[in-house]
Amino acid sequence: MTPDDAPPASPAPLASQAAPVSSAPPGLPPLSSGPAPSAADEALLAAVVSRGEGVAQNSNHGVLLITAVLFIAAGGLQGGWESVLFTLIAVALHELGHVLAMRFFGYKNVRMLFIPFFGGLATGQPRELDAGKNALVALAGPLFGLLTAGAAAALAYALGSSPWLVKFAWVSVILNAFNLIPFIPLDGGQVANETLFSRYPALELTFRLIAICGLGALAWIEEMWMLSVVVVLMVIGTPTSFRRSRLVRDARRDPTWLTRPLDHAAVAQLRDLVTQQFKNVAPEKYARALPDHIHGLWLSIRKQFPGPGKTVLLLAAYAFTSLIVAPAIAFFLVRFLERPEF
């Protein structure tokens, strides 16, 4: 899995002067020069701009190691040490696929960690928000995981069967095939959402509700209590997420957002949007994260979406991975290798 919307670096220029007066969509405050900015306004602008300056953070090797140990300990106590080791390797390779794609697209502060009972997480900050690149990053995890599973299966066949390689291949195929299910926040859901739904708030809400129902049913039928936690968190976050999507959609109707600088007037307007997004939350509860919310809205408003041709190619790549690659590797394992005991 991937993080859905890590705050990427902003490509916009910084200007100290206020933006000129222009029209704005209904419900949004108009741009105006306004009074001279206060010290608090200067500090907020500096904090928002710093989110996009691309300053590299320290390595997270220590966090990666600690979370790996916790993952092994929690999984070993629950399901056996051998199984958790195979799962750890499969999760690591899956997340490595995301990491490699992020680095290819020039993301900054790319990190990876393990989450006990859940799996792993790869995060990074792109230079700009691009739905097509987001979809490719999401697809890269399961695709790389499946390719390594296929390599393990081929090596086991060449060696005349190797139980540990076959076990790893099965664990990896199951893990990555599960992640290809088209329900957010799974990778398959991220691909579908970025290519088809994320630009339309109503469709994105519908897709999110379908995912909640689907994952909820799966959690109930298979008694996957950790998955039910994800479902509950999605339900809680749905109103705020939908409200944010509508605010971003309305702001995109003003074409000046694509060319205007990130200045005091822009930050003031974005701060008003954040207030509307969290209208039922006391401001002091998100005050520390206010620069992150403002910068995230700035990037979301300027987000780029794939055209019809690229959308078709992205969906074709997703379908090929889900319907051809994963079943082909599973068929090879069943047909040519003895299934090991787990």
Output the pLDDT for position 214. 96
Per-residue confidence (pLDDT) for residue 342, from 0 to 100: 65
Give pLDDT, residue 11: 40
Ranges 53-57, 115-119, 243-247, 252-256: which has the least confidence? 53-57
| 54: nearest Cα among 105, 139, 143, 126 | 126
| Residues 261 and 315 grouped into a single domain | no
Residue 80: phi and psi, rounded to 5, are 105, 145
Which ranges of the chain does DSSP label H, i.e. alpha helix?
39-50, 61-79, 81-104, 131-158, 163-179, 187-192, 201-222, 225-252, 264-277, 290-301, 308-320, 326-336
Nearest C-alpha neighbor of 107 from the set 19, 239, 5: 5
> How far apart, in whole angstroms, are the C-alpha atoms of residue 148 and residue 165?
11
Residue 163 shares a structural domain with residue 187: yes
Question: Is residue 237 assigned to a domain?
Answer: yes
Q: How many domains does the chain have?
A: 2
Same structural domain, 175 and 119: yes
261-288 mean pLDDT:
90
What is the structure's pLDDT at 59? 65
Q: Average per-residue pLDDT in the chain?
A: 86
Q: What is the pLDDT of residues 148-157, one digit of tens each?
A: 999 999 999 9
Q: Say how far apart CA 276 and CA 265 lie, in whole Å.
A: 17
Do 145 and 260 fall within a single domain?
A: no
179-193 tens-digit pLDDT? 999 999 999 999 999
Per-residue model confidence (pLDDT) at position 281: 87
244 and 101 in one domain?
no
Please indicate, yes or no, whether residues 188 and 169 belong to a single structural domain of this protein: yes
Domain that holds residue 269: 199-304
Within a domain: 212: yes
**pLDDT tens-digit map of 209-245:** 999 999 999 999 998 888 999 999 999 999 999 999 9
Tell me, yes or no, whether 128 lies in a domain.
yes
On whether both 238 and 139 belong to a single domain, the answer is no
Please give the Cα distance from 146 to 144 (Å, whole number).
Answer: 5
In order, the DSSP letters of 230-248 are HHHHHHHHHHHHHHHHHHH
In a domain, 42, yes or no: no
Percent of the chain, pLDDT > 90?
Answer: 62
What are 21-65's pLDDT values in tens digits? 334 444 444 444 455 667 788 898 898 888 876 556 666 788 889
For the whole prediction, is pTM greater than 0.95?
A: no
Q: Are residues 229 and 218 in the same domain?
A: yes
Specify if 34 maps to a domain.
Answer: no
83 pLDDT tier (thresholds 50, 70, 90): confident
